[in-house]
Amino acid sequence: MKKITAFIFDLDGVIVFTDQFHYQAWKKMADRMGIHFDEAINNRLRGVSRMESLEIILENYNGVLSLEEKNALAEEKNTSYRELLHTMTPGDVSQDVRRTLEELRGRGYKLAIGSSSKNARFILEKVGLLDFFDAISDGTNITNSKPDPEVFVKAAEYLGESPQSCIVVEDAYAGVDAAKAGGMAAAAMGDAASYEKADYVLQSFSDLLKIAPENEER
């Protein structure tokens, strides 16, 4: 087994928590369209791309929409979402997360973001973490959403590391599946902590330090 040299983090639900912003933005769009949308449906959207999320929501829509109309709805949602993101500050990153990231960097590990969000860089800028990561792979450079491993494979490539040298940190089943499909170990937290495919279970973000050896030659 190769030594671990890098950590790749999902963004939402791991580094920051914007689930409620997504819900509010999709809810606003759905209500305007007269489409039933609730928290249960919203949970199906976690880790899924914007257009795939829209298709899930449109399962409850009786009409037929053109691709142009769908793109307009997706952009409407994103505009609402970005308006909510403008309220984010560095205070939206917990001290546990910030201290752990700093310690991992201090131990010599490379850090990357692997997120399907096209707003990843904007969010990281708002919370003061944009320059904290060595690489960012997000919705702007992928064509396939999780559980496809593309976002994590590209993150490893950007880091210059092999997949076998990376641990992915995820909170969603689809993210764990993507990590495993990409040949990477998966550390699961939140909803994914009970997933049997996870290699590590995190009760807190700082538990990462238990699986990141200090002073080990890498």
Contacts of 44 (CB under 8 A, 6+ apart): 56
> How many Å apart are CA 80 and CA 100, to the nearest integer?
32
Per-residue pLDDT at 207 exceeds 70:
yes
pLDDT class for 215, splitting at 50, 70, 90? very low
The answer to whether residue 193 is domain-embedded is: yes
Strand order of the sheet with strand 110-114? 135-137, 110-114, 6-9, 166-170, 185-188, 200-201
Q: What's the whole-model pTM score?
A: 0.86
Could you check whether the bond before residue 163 is cis, i.e. omega within 30 degrees of 0? no
Unique residue bearing structure tokens 């279970």: 201
The reply to whether 12 and 29 lie within a common domain is no
The rounded percent of the chain whose pLDDT value lies above 90 is: 89
47 Rama sector, left if φ>0, alpha if ψ -120 to 50, beta otherwise: left
Per-residue pLDDT at 8 exceeds 70:
yes
The answer to whether residue 218 is domain-embedded is: no
The reply to whether 133 and 200 lie within a common domain is yes
Residue 72 CB: number of other CB atoms within 10 A?
12
Q: What is the pLDDT of residues 158-185, one digit of tens each?
A: 999 999 999 999 999 999 999 999 999 9
pLDDT class for 23, splitting at 50, 70, 90? very high
For 98-206, list the strands marked E by DSSP. Answer: 110-114, 135-137, 166-170, 185-188, 200-201
pLDDT value at residue 214: 67
pLDDT class for 1, splitting at 50, 70, 90? low
The reply to whether 68 and 117 lie within a common domain is no
The reply to whether 42 and 80 lie within a common domain is yes
Domain that holds residue 162: 6-16+94-210
Catalytic site positions: 10, 12
What CATH number is attached to the domain comprising 164? Answer: 3.40.50.1000
Q: What is the pLDDT of residues 118-150, one digit of tens each?
A: 899 999 999 999 999 999 999 999 999 899 999
Per-residue pLDDT at 217 exceeds 50:
no
